[in-house]
Amino acid sequence: MCGEGVPDFYAKEVIGKFPYCINPLADTMLKDYYESEGICSDMNDLGYRKDENDDFVIEDCLKTIFARYYYTKQGQTAFDALYTNRKSMRDKFIAFWDVVSSRLAGNPFVVGFDPLNEPPALNNVKNPEISQPGVMDKEYLTPFYSKLFEQYSANDAESIMWFEPVTIPNVDGVLDGGTIHPVGFKEPPGGHFGSKNHVLNDHTYCCQLGEDFEHCAERGEPNPAMAEKCLVWHDKRIG
């Protein structure tokens, strides 16, 4: 999936040769709708070259933003497997963090563990309710993070977990002017209010306001002229 850090043998096992968002028949019937909405595309239709391992060539992958690949048939299928533990993918992910947290237990140069950067929702084409604010956090990320925290704690009782909400709608706000949505966590996953072992990791970018977005896209930073407005918005997110 264009270099997302998952071993080939796992990615190919869960994706298979014919991934789909709903089912093969529905995807065929809804193809025009998918294209109009920019969802459920097929990475094989992008025209990217492949290497000797049948992986897409990274130089081609970098032609567009990585997040685009999350909403392909391949991306939807893979994340669905991770969150629902299909083919034991969640168990294997936790086993990976067992090794990492055990190896780094007590290391004074490691502040904490962030198990999954900007987690996208699972198959929100097949399950559109997942895109409602807080639903993915509550139904899937909470139990997922709780199991990870149990593993961290077993290896090091002082370990800290940085946990993040799902990206959409919590992080992505360009299209709606930076609307702020509450997260769906009722308490720190696997912990309690006031836990010294948890940090809610909020990814907040002023570019989400949608103002002067071209400047953000070109430079990777908001226009300095928006500094005051950005500060007000960040304070609102934290509050």
Helix, strand or coil for residue 72? strand
Tens of pLDDT along 158-167? Answer: 999 999 998 8
Tens of pLDDT along 147-157? Answer: 999 999 999 99
Least confident stretch, 36-40, 79-83, 138-142: 36-40
Helix, strand or coil for residue 100? helix
* H or E segment to which residue 199 belongs: strand 198-200
What percentage of the chain carries pLDDT values higher than 90?
53
Helices (H), 38-175: 58-61, 73-84, 89-103, 135-136, 142-155
Beta partners for 80? Answer: none
Tens of pLDDT along 92-142? Answer: 999 999 999 999 999 999 999 999 988 988 787 888 888 888 899 999 999
pTM above 0.85, yes or no: yes
| Stretch 18-35: mean pLDDT | 92
d(CA 239, CA 233) in angstroms, rounded, equals: 10
